[in-house]
Amino acid sequence: MATELIVRVGKAEKNYAAYVEGLDGFVCTADTFEELKKEVVEGINFHLNGLREDGDPVPDIFNREYILVYKWSVVGLLDYYRRVLSLAALERITGINQTQLGHYAAGRSRPRKQQVEKIEKALHHLGEELCTISL
């Protein structure tokens, strides 16, 4: 069974940025999330080849089968889905005030762990509901 490798995704000033847990010194950026996923895969391979060429140790997880699991920051997630879900819609499904969500999306304030969990739970619930739809 493959080991999950966590890729942390966030919003940089004008693009998306990612780092891989357990792979020190690895960071990549791209204009879109789709591009970022490609950059992560290519970048990991490039980074690992560099480690091997330099005789540096390669983290053990990369010597076995792994899958990439993307975990978003709240700012990055809200920015990514802003064209799909308005702050009003997010308020309805999360119960968090639009103004506060706007502060999170702009990076003016950071949500407490409880708020992050509330947003995550609401979005997972929405996803589960959408998966039950059949036309």
Query: Homologous superfamily of 3-72 in CATH?
Result: TTHA1013-like (3.30.2390.10)
For the chain, the structural domain boundaries read 3-72, 77-131
- Provide the pLDDT for residue 134: 87
Which of 93, 39, 46 has its CA nearest to residue 70? 39
- Provide the pLDDT for residue 135: 86
- Provide the pLDDT for residue 75: 87
pTM of the model: 0.82
Q: For 115-125, write each residue's pLDDT tens digit.
A: 999 999 999 99
Q: For 47-101, write each residue's pLDDT tens digit.
A: 999 999 999 999 989 988 999 999 999 888 888 888 888 999 999 999 999 999 9
**Band of residue 12 on the pLDDT scale cut at 50, 70, 90:** confident
- Provide the pLDDT for residue 83: 82
Contacts of 108 (CB under 8 A, 6+ apart): none
Structure tokens at 132: 């039950």
CATH for 77-131 (2.40.128, 1.10.3430, 3.30.420, 1.10.260): 1.10.260
